[in-house]
Amino acid sequence: MSVAIFPAAGGLGGATYTALLKLLDPKHIVLVSRHPEKLQHEQQAGVAVRKADFDDVESFKGVFDGVKTLNLISYPSIEHEHRFEVAKAAIDSARVSGVRHIFYSSLAFGGLTPDPPFRAQVMLAHLDTEAYLRPLHEHDPEQFSYTVVRVGLYSESFPIYTASFDINRPPKDGKIRVPHDGDGPGIAWAKRHELGEAVAKLIAMYEHDPERFPWKNKLMVLSGPRAYSLNETAKVFSDILGREITVQEVSVDEYANLPEVKESLTYGSGSWSKLWATAFEGLRHGVAAAVTPHLRELLGREPEAFEVTVRGMKTGD
């Protein structure tokens, strides 16, 4: 076995292995998931399927045996401490099993440097995980390396940055109520499927020539082709719907108490809406607006524009 993806049954993991199956021998690929039953079709294609669960760190023991390269995707939450601790446990287990290189799929909500100008809640565990990887290489440079890939904010995830705006059921008054005036630095939206394809091509590039891989022990940001302010994002909605959609600035408390926001950001120990609101302060600092050519270069084509992806999400009238 050579390359593993964990977790492999989610949206980004699925997009990554779908592309990777076309680039590497399936017999050299391991898909690790807490729901291995969802990967029966892939198993029939020749990949190995193993079970592990972020919420059961004991399940990490031995799950990466035989793996030399791991694509680690973060725990799906905005929680900080637990999210980092389970990522750390997965990394430690991978190291014990002999993994030589980790591609960590982080989030493009921190700009272009390891130390962003503002640390939003959604980015805290990512930053801790990135920082944990660096000294592992420094202490063992011959046996371990890493690549941090800050993947762009998914175009399909726009509802969590627009107060749960639904392109198929827009609010009657056309207002997107968030603690932001809509101007200033925005979001370099990128399509999830294309992000997965780009990560797969990075992995294949490393596998084919690890010694000359140019992103070893570095940070890469994969972004869409341009950044959209929240007002420009609302304009995309307006153009698709044929009616005016606008951003209305409200207080953090008012935003956090919007029923649609509370519903979408309540899980586990309760509502995360106030902590999530730190994302809007991050937008003011430009932490999601970085645009790089890397996604286009890896795809070998222009990435899909945000408005094209959103229009594709619109169902029939």
Element (H, E) at 72: strand 69-73
d(CA 199, CA 108): 14
Strand 270-271 and strand 266-267: the pairing is: antiparallel
According to the model, what pLDDT value does residue 317 have? Answer: 56
Q: How many CB atoms are located within 10 Å of the residue 98 CB?
A: 13
Within the chain, all domains assigned CATH 3.90.25.10 are found at: 156-185+225-289+301-313
- CATH fit for domain 156-185+225-289+301-313, picks 3.90.25.10, 3.40.630.30, 3.40.50.920, 3.30.565.40: 3.90.25.10
- Location of each CATH 3.40.50.720 domain in the chain: 3-153+190-222
pLDDT (tens digit, 0 to 9) for every residue of the chain, 317 residues total? 699 999 998 899 999 999 999 999 999 999 999 999 999 888 888 999 999 999 999 999 999 999 999 999 998 888 899 999 999 999 999 999 999 999 999 999 999 999 999 999 999 999 999 999 999 999 999 999 999 999 999 999 999 999 999 999 999 999 999 999 999 999 999 999 999 999 999 999 999 999 999 999 999 999 999 999 999 999 999 999 999 999 999 999 999 999 999 988 877 667 899 999 999 999 999 999 999 999 999 999 999 999 999 999 999 75
Q: State how far the alpha carbon of 88 is from the alpha carbons of 8, 27, 125, 132, 312, in Å.
A: 18, 27, 10, 8, 37
The superfamily CATH assigns to domain 3-153+190-222 is: NAD(P)-binding Rossmann-like Domain (3.40.50.720)
Query: Which residue, among 186, 133, 170, 126, has the nearest Cα to 314 in the 3D structure?
Result: 170
Q: How far apart are CA 86 and CA 1, in angstroms?
A: 23
Which residues face 11 on adjacent strands? none
Instruction: Determine the pLDDT at residue 316.
Output: 72
Which residue stretches of the chain are H helix? 11-20, 40-44, 81-96, 121-139, 192-208, 230-241, 252-256, 259-264, 273-276, 278-284, 294-299, 306-313
| pLDDT the model gives residue 268 | 67
